[in-house]
Structure 1
Amino acid sequence: MTFTVAIIGRPNVGKSTLFNRLVGRKLAIVHDQPGVTRDRREGRATLMGMEFRVVDTAGFEDDGGDSVEARMRRQTDQAVTAADVALLLIDARAGVTPLDRHFADYLRRLPTPVILVANKCEGKAGAPGLYEAYGLGMGEPVPVSAEHGEGMYELFEALMPHAKAAGALDDEDEDEDDFAPPGDEEAEDAEPDPGRPLTMVIVGRPNVGKSTLGNQLLGQDRLLTGPEAGLTRDAIAVEWEHKGRRLKLVDTAGLRKKAQISDAIEKLSVGNTIESIRMSEVVVLVMDAAAILDKQDLTIARLVVDEGRALVIAINKWDMVDDPQTALKRLRDRLETSLPQAKGVTTVTLSALTGRGVDRLIDAVLETWDTWNRRIPTAGLNRWLEEVIERHPPPALPGGRRYKIRYMTQAKARPPTFVLFATKPDQLPESYIRYLINGLREAFKLPGVPIRLHMRAGKNPYAAKDK
């Protein structure tokens, strides 16, 4: 059993730095500019062996209405309400500000217990602010330095009663010898866990409806949305269940053309999105029905395929298309000529706003994931290889010598990767390699996923050896 800890505070007090420290990885974007975090981000944290869910939130802003700041505030309010305990973070070097006092008063009226944490207490510069924090009337502040990892044991002791109250910690677990120091946790097992969730990353250009689609899939307003382009900055991961199948949805920042990116925060967001693609299993590329598969969409699709991820294309705002048949034909023709590496990629038309077609998207994701994981028996592969070589032999080598293809095996899945043993593998024409890949895709039903075919010199490694 686990419990949930929400990190809250005004902008630029070090919430994302503390979040990264607790989860042990740089998941959240950290920058000196205030207001970088907009959505709430969740992660699995370990502190002295105690495990819990930690939530990074947007900076507390005293704003109302329907502005971006007000929507961010509502996301933070939801995080605090759902948490077992909240960490109110202040900047000890800056001292207690009027905004800190305002939100301390606000949090005192809520049922969620609050631990006051004074960040940036390394050295002597934070001492005056630490003493000033007692005046907030929220008990003894916990002095920490999120950047340098100081005060983590004191934070652990402050969290312990709340973990026990939430039923996440038994009395026998309190022996200090059972807790490892930060950073000493064992690495995750390299073998994939069959019970782990399928990782589905949503990508696309800015303002095509990625977060709206994410909220529709989750069935709640979990992700910050609005008409403003570029609202999402961090890659936000949320786990949920669909018909008994566990999935992890990752909403990402929009990807613009590299030449158009000058803002430092956007550069960090783009890097965050690309890293999410690399760690994904299935990538859903969302396009706007009014501008299907423009140059930037193709650039993103090629990036996904080059990284070996499974790809599904979602055409959003399909309810606004006047001539659906013509639009679909134009899309398929463009994919055929511009993205042959993922021939047969699944395309789903939908409306993220109304939810129409969203169930079909999840079905397509699960089906594409199965294809991406498919393994083909070696015997069947080589029977197919003999047939295609007989039907269309490889071209002769220079001097008229016959080119010999001896054997094929599947080296791995995710994506399907094959090894072909042949004489002089470096001289097999690229056109013939494409012929074999297309044949594999058609014969073994591998549409829409990248296929890797590596050439190796040598005889059949499984043939009986001469004694």
Structure 2
Amino acid sequence: MLPVVAIIGRPNVGKSTLFNRLVGRRIALVDDRPGVTRDRREGEATVGDLEFIAIDTAGLEDAEEATLAGRMRAQTMSAVEGADIILFVMDARVGITPEDEYFAGIVRKAGKPVVLVANKAEGHGGTAGAYDAFRLGLGDPVPLSAEHNEGFVDLYQALNAAIGHEPPEEDEDEEDDGPRGPLSIAVVGRPNAGKSTLINRLVGEDRLLTGPEAGITRDSIAVDLVWRGRDIRLVDTAGMRRKARIQDKLEKLAVSDSLRSIQFAEVVVVMLDATIPFEKQDLQIADLVSREGRALVIALNKWDLVEERAGAMKRHREAADRLLAQVRGMPLVPISAATGEGVDRLMEAVLQAHEVWNRRVPTARINRWLEGVLEHHPPPAVRGARVKLRYMTQTKARPPTFVLFGTRTSVLPESYVRYLVNGLREAFELPGTPIRLTFREPKNPYDPE
């Protein structure tokens, strides 16, 4: 039996647009005017591989029971009672209203798993409202745009956790922050780096075509295996050359497929040729993985061909931290896909990188650290005015994302921002994973906007 998900919220926050997106058809009327939806509407919905019954409801309004608005509210509350999960939708561009706070209290009393959705969060306009949604006390908000089909990967993760929200029969702490299912690993790199050979070595058969010619792989191919009891999905990708060298339409499509594989992976293994590591294209690929927010592991392949190994790893470690400072401390593993040397160490590094990528830090620990940082090295004054940093919290994992509240944060020097990110990485043991740090300032009451 499919779980039932009720979509609720005040009028005109985009519930019907979200409902249409989930069911894949425009079956609910949508208009800019509030109150278009009155009756409950059900439909079979999907997000990724999740299937459930979605219920579109009327906007919640505080009204007398005998009025039309009151009867619409009763219909909505009936849907809440019969639902397994509640999608509470707020408007990220408007921010939290007294109505949102009032109905959030009612939702909390329902005792159902809740996924808080900050809709209309496309672009930069909805960022502040999405962060403001933390005040509702309904957990981490999921910023998305139902109209523009943005943010549904995060919604998938939140719904997946909520649908599986049952009394656990065994300890599942390791998977609390991530979707259940196989760990998705994309193997990327320049042509002829040994990506297909590595995957063949892991699965124990010649599953993928290999050879000395560069560019054999075109399509991104997923291969499933079990490694030490863990379900793994490895994705082999086409070699990625410099953009200026790509002329053939087929190669363009193959590289586009590789980029898509990076976006949907949890951990990305960047394969380097150990005899000529850290070429410009290698660094660009690793930087792309970091910007996409994926966990990164670097494999120095063809290690068996390196003649002078003494001190080589120390030099490579120093070079990696210098050239890829944005992911300082990333796992760097020497391997030989052809002989199998170091492959087990590589997989152990992948699992460790995935654990770091999912790590959450309690708010109290973060702010104790922040107090020490501000006391030891306060932010510099800008044009004679102090920058005040007041409070920090981690808003999400995958990758670790932090929000720092303060005044005049927009003028913080980039060097001080890097200092904070490096401090977070060192203090909370987040080596190698991308760290996102954003800032939020209180609204200026004298600002006419």
TM range (shorter): 0.5 to 0.7
Residue equivalent to 1:328: 313
Within 1, Cα distance between the matches of 2:370 and 2:415? 16
| Aligned AA (1:333) | E
Q: Deviations over 1:92-139 (max 9, x none)?
A: xxxxxxxxxxxxxxxxxxxxxxxxxxxxxxxxxxxxxxxxxxxxxxxx
Residue equivalent to 1:249: 234
Alignment of 1:275-314 (within 5 A): 275-314=260-299
Larger CA Rg, structure 1 vs 2: 1
- Three-state SS of the structure 2 residue aligned to 1:421 is strand
- Three-state SS of the structure 2 residue aligned to 1:290 is coil
Residue equivalent to 2:442: 458
User: Cα distance, 1:229 vs. partner?
Assistant: 1.0
Residue equivalent to 2:410: 426
When residues 189 and 294 of structure 1 are mapped into structure 2, their CA distance, relative to the original with a 3 A threshold, is closer
Q: Deviations over 1:285-326 (max 9, x none)?
A: 011111111111001000100111110000111111111234
- Three-state SS of the structure 2 residue aligned to 1:394 is coil
Aligned equivalent of 1:211, options 193, 196, 204: 196
User: Cα distance, 1:402 vs. partner?
Assistant: 2.8
Q: Do residues 359 (structure 1) and 348 (structure 2) align?
A: no
- Three-state SS of the structure 2 residue aligned to 1:447 is coil
Alignment of 1:82-97 (within 5 A): none
Q: TM-score, normalised by structure 1?
A: 0.57
Within 2, Cα distance between the matches of 1:288 and 1:403? 45
- Three-state SS of the structure 1 residue aligned to 2:310 is helix
- Three-state SS of the structure 2 residue aligned to 1:275 is helix
Within 1, Cα distance between the matches of 2:156 and 2:290? 26
Residue equivalent to 1:409: 393
Q: Deviations over 1:165-216 (max 9, x none)?
A: xxxxxxxxxxxxxxxxxxxxxx995534643111100001101111000011
Q: TM-score, normalised by structure 2?
A: 0.59
Residue equivalent to 2:373: 388
- Three-state SS of the structure 2 residue aligned to 1:303 is helix
Within 2, Cα distance between the matches of 1:209 and 1:366? 21
Q: Do residues 238 (structure 1) and 223 (structure 2) align?
A: yes
How many residue pairs are counted as aligned between the two chains? Answer: 275
Within 2, Cα distance between the matches of 1:253 and 1:445? 33
Within 1, Cα distance between the matches of 2:408 and 2:275? 49
Aligned equivalent of 1:372, options 337, 350, 357: 357
Within 2, Cα distance between the matches of 1:413 and 1:210? 28
Native 8 Å contact 2:387 2:409 kept in 1:
no
Within 2, Cα distance between the matches of 1:348 and 1:437? 24
CA RMSD of aligned residues (A): 2.0
Within 2, Cα distance between the matches of 1:374 and 1:219? 32
Within 2, Cα distance between the matches of 1:225 and 1:418? 42
Q: Do residues 436 (structure 1) and 432 (structure 2) align?
A: no
| Aligned AA (1:395) | P
Within 1, Cα distance between the matches of 2:259 and 2:311? 32
Within 2, Cα distance between the matches of 1:283 and 1:334? 20
Within 2, Cα distance between the matches of 1:254 and 1:357? 22
Alignment of 1:82-161 (within 5 A): none
When residues 323 and 397 of structure 1 are mapped into structure 2, their CA distance, relative to the original with a 3 A threshold, is same
| Aligned AA (1:261) | I
Within 2, Cα distance between the matches of 1:334 and 1:218? 32
Residue equivalent to 1:125: none
Q: Do residues 201 (structure 1) and 186 (structure 2) align?
A: yes
When residues 417 and 283 of structure 1 are mapped into structure 2, their CA distance, relative to the original with a 3 A threshold, is same
Q: Which runs of 5+ in 2 are unaligned?
A: 1-23, 25-47, 50-152, 162-178, 444-449
Within 2, Cα distance between the matches of 1:378 and 1:408? 7
Residue equivalent to 1:79: none
Residue equivalent to 1:266: 251
| Aligned AA (1:247) | I
User: Cα distance, 1:424 vs. partner?
Assistant: 1.2
User: Cα distance, 1:242 vs. partner?
Assistant: 0.9
Aligned equivalent of 1:229, options 205, 214, 219: 214
Within 1, Cα distance between the matches of 2:400 and 2:408? 23
- Three-state SS of the structure 1 residue aligned to 2:339 is coil
Within 2, Cα distance between the matches of 1:189 and 1:266? 31
Residue equivalent to 2:170: none
Q: Deviations over 1:332-391 (max 9, x none)?
A: 232222211100010011110111110001100000000000000000000000001101
Within 2, Cα distance between the matches of 1:267 and 1:204? 15
Residue equivalent to 2:167: none
Within 1, Cα distance between the matches of 2:369 and 2:242? 42
Within 2, Cα distance between the matches of 1:192 and 1:397? 45
What percent of counterpart residues are identical? 59
Q: Deviations over 1:402-445 (max 9, x none)?
A: 32110000011011000000111101111111111000000000
| Aligned AA (2:380) | P
Higher RCO, 1 or 2 (CA under 8 Å, sep at least 6)?
1
Q: Which runs of 5+ in 1 are unaligned?
A: 1-23, 25-44, 47-186, 460-467
Within 2, Cα distance between the matches of 1:327 and 1:205? 21
- Three-state SS of the structure 2 residue aligned to 1:325 is coil
Native 8 Å contact 2:191 2:238 kept in 1:
yes
